[in-house]
Structure 1
Amino acid sequence: MTDDHGSADAAEPAGPVSREDVVSESPFTLPGFFDALEAGRLLAAECRDCEAVLVPPRPACYECGSRRVAVAEQSKTGTVYSYTEVGRPPTAFEELAPLTLAVVELDSGGRLTGRVDAAYDDLEVGTPVTLTTRAPDFDEEAVLSYEADWPVHVFELRE
C-alpha cells in the first residue's frame, strides 16, 4: 500500500528480491498479482532507482535493470494510451467478439493492458477509465488450468 506521498508501505515486499522469495503467493508472480487483484488491490513494482512503475510487478526493473523495486498499491484510474478492436479473439473470449482492448496509462504512471467495456468507436486516446474486476466469464476448458479462477480485469469508461 502507498502513503499519501506514493511511497511503498513497509508491509509490502521490497527488493532486491531473492529467488527464494518469488513463490507463487508473491506479488512478483502472476498468481500473486491476480490474488491481490481479486482482493481489490492493484499492485505494481516501483523502481527505487529510475522510478519506473511495473504492472504487474516484476522482481527487476525492465527500464534500468535494477533489482531495487518495492511493491506498492496503485490507482485504478487512468487514461487510454492506445487501443484496438479484436474481431477474432482467443477461444475463451470468442462469444464476446468484437473485443475492445486498450493499453491504459494509470494515474500512477504504470501501464496495463486490458479489455474495455465499451465499443471501439466510443474510445479515443486520453479517454478516462477505471479498472474493475469481474468473476471469470469464459469457458474454463478454453484457458490454462491455473488461469480459470483468476479475476478478469476490465476497464470501464468514467466521466
Structure 2
Amino acid sequence: MTGPLAPDDLDADSPFTLPGFFAALADGRLLGATCEDCGTALVPPRPACYACGGRAVAVEEQPRSGTVVSHTEVRTPPPAFADLAPYTVAVVELDSGARLTGRVDAPYDAVGIGSRVELAVREPTDAERAAALSYEDGWPIHVFEPA
C-alpha cells in the first residue's frame, strides 16, 4: 500500500492512523512505512515522511528484532504504573532501520547499547487499561524481550 495523497484517503482502518497501526499489531503484524523518496523507515506508518516531507510512502511489515540504541530506567512512573517500577524503557532500531520506543522486559543492568531484543505483543493489563485514553484501552501492548 502506498501513502495517501489526500485526507479523504485516511480512515480509522488505515495503517497510516494509530487505530489502524494497533489493529494490525493486534493481528500480529508490525507495520511501518518506507519513504520512496529518501528511504527513511517510519514506525508507526505516517502519511508523510518526517525526514523529507515526501508523501510517497509504502507500508511494509517490519521485523520484530532489533538493537537497543538508547535506554533508561524509570524509577518514578505515573501513579498507574507505580507497582511496575523500576522498569526499563528503550529506543530500539529494528533490523529495517526504523526506530520504536518501548518497555524492555529485563532489568536496566541487563540491557545495554547494542543489546539484541525481540518485540512481543500482549493484551494490556488492568492498570494499563485504566491509564489508557478511552480510544486506546483495547490497543495491544508491545514489549521488547532480550533475544
TM-score by length of 2: 0.95
1:29/1:91 CA distance change after superposition, 3 Å: farther
Report the equivalent of 1:64. Answer: 52
**Counterpart contact for 2:30–2:64, Cα < 8 Å:** yes
Report the equivalent of 2:115. Answer: 127
Count of residues in correspondence between the two structures: 146
CA distance in 2, matches of 1:83, 1:138: 26
Report the equivalent of 2:137. Answer: 148
1:16/1:144 CA distance change after superposition, 3 Å: closer
Q: What residue ranges of structure 2 are gaps of 5+ in the alignment?
A: none
Report the equivalent of 1:41. Answer: 29
Q: State percent identity of aligned pairs.
A: 60
CA distance in 1, matches of 2:137, 2:106: 24
CA distance in 2, matches of 1:133, 1:74: 14
Q: Which moved more, 1:117-126 or 1:16-25?
A: 16-25
CA distance in 2, matches of 1:95, 1:147: 21
CA distance in 2, matches of 1:50, 1:101: 29
**Counterpart contact for 1:76–1:130, Cα < 8 Å:** yes
Superposition deviation, residue 88 in structure 1: 1.6
**Counterpart contact for 1:93–1:138, Cα < 8 Å:** no
In the TM superposition, what are the counterparts of 1:10-159 in structure 2 within 5 Å?
13-139=1-127, 140-158=129-147
Secondary structure at the counterpart of residue 80 of structure 2: helix
Superposition deviation, residue 16 in structure 1: 4.2
Report the equivalent of 1:3. Answer: none
Superposition deviation, residue 17 in structure 1: 3.0
Superposition deviation, residue 21 in structure 1: 1.5
Superposition deviation, residue 141 in structure 1: 2.8
The CA RMSD over aligned residues, in Å, is 1.1
Superposition deviation, residue 89 in structure 1: 1.6
**1:89 alignment partner AA:** P
Secondary structure at the counterpart of residue 135 of structure 2: helix
Moved over 3 A (4+): none
